[in-house]
Amino acid sequence: MKNGAKYLAECGLRPSMQRLAIYQYMATHPTHPTADEIFEALKEQIPTLSKTTVYNTLKLFVAHGVVDEVFIDRTSERFDGNTELHAHFLCSNCGAIIDTPIASPETVNSAAPEGVSLAKTQLLYFGTCTKCIENQLNNN
C-alpha cells in the first residue's frame, strides 16, 4: 500500500490520526479483517477510538476506493486493503482468507450476463488450504 497521509489526501480524505492508524493496520495486515478486529487491535494504541469510528472510517475508505469491502460470509463485513482485481480463497477448515491472483480478468468478467454493466467483480474459491492439508497429513 502507499504512503498513508499522502495517499489519503490524494483520495480526498483528511489524514487524521485515527484514519492513518486504520489505514496502516490495513496496509500491514492482509487478513481481510472485520471492523471489530481492527478496533480490538488498535484500542490500546488509541484509547479514544470507538467501534463506530472504525466502521465509519472503513465505509468512507470503501467509498473513496482506499479499501474494498469483501463479501465472503454473511456473518461479518470484511475489508481488503488490496484494491487490485484478485480472487479470494476461503479455507472451509480454518477460515483463512487468502488473496489469489487472477490470470485473465477478461475471462472472469466475460462470465457476467450479457448486457449488464459491471461495477465490481469478486471471485471466491472454497476448499482446504495448504496448511490444513499438511496438518491433516501429519496427524494421520
* Domain membership flag for residue 81: no
Which residues are CB-neighbours of 129 under 8 A, at least 6 positions away? 89, 91, 93, 94, 96, 98
* Assigned domain for 77 exists: no
Which CATH number do you get for residue 59? 1.10.10.10
Are both 98 and 48 inside the same structural domain? no
Same domain, 13 and 44: yes
- Using CA atoms, how far apart are residues 68 and 88, in angstroms rounded to an integer? 13
- Pairing mode, if any, of strands 78-80 and 68-70? antiparallel
Instruction: Note the pLDDT of residue 1.
Output: 57
User: Are 58 and 109 within one domain?
Assistant: no
Going residue by residue through the chain (140 aa), what tens digit of pLDDT does each one get? Answer: 567 889 999 999 999 999 999 999 999 998 899 999 999 999 999 999 999 999 999 999 999 999 999 888 777 789 998 888 889 999 989 988 999 988 877 777 788 888 888 887 888 899 999 999 999 899 87
Question: What pLDDT is stored for residue 77 in this prediction?
Answer: 87
Length of the chain: 140
Residue 61 lies in a domain: yes
Residue 59, domain member (yes or no): yes
Residue 135: name the closest of 109, 96, 101 by CA: 96
- In this structure, the answer to whether residues 19 and 67 fall within a common structural domain is yes
Range of the structural domain that residue 53 is part of: 4-71
pTM, 2 dp: 0.76
Q: How far apart (Å, rounded) are the C-alpha atoms in residues 51 and 26?
A: 16
Q: Is residue 60 part of a domain?
A: yes
What percent helix, strand, coil does the chain show, rounded to 5?
40, 15, 45
Question: What's residue 55's pLDDT?
Answer: 96
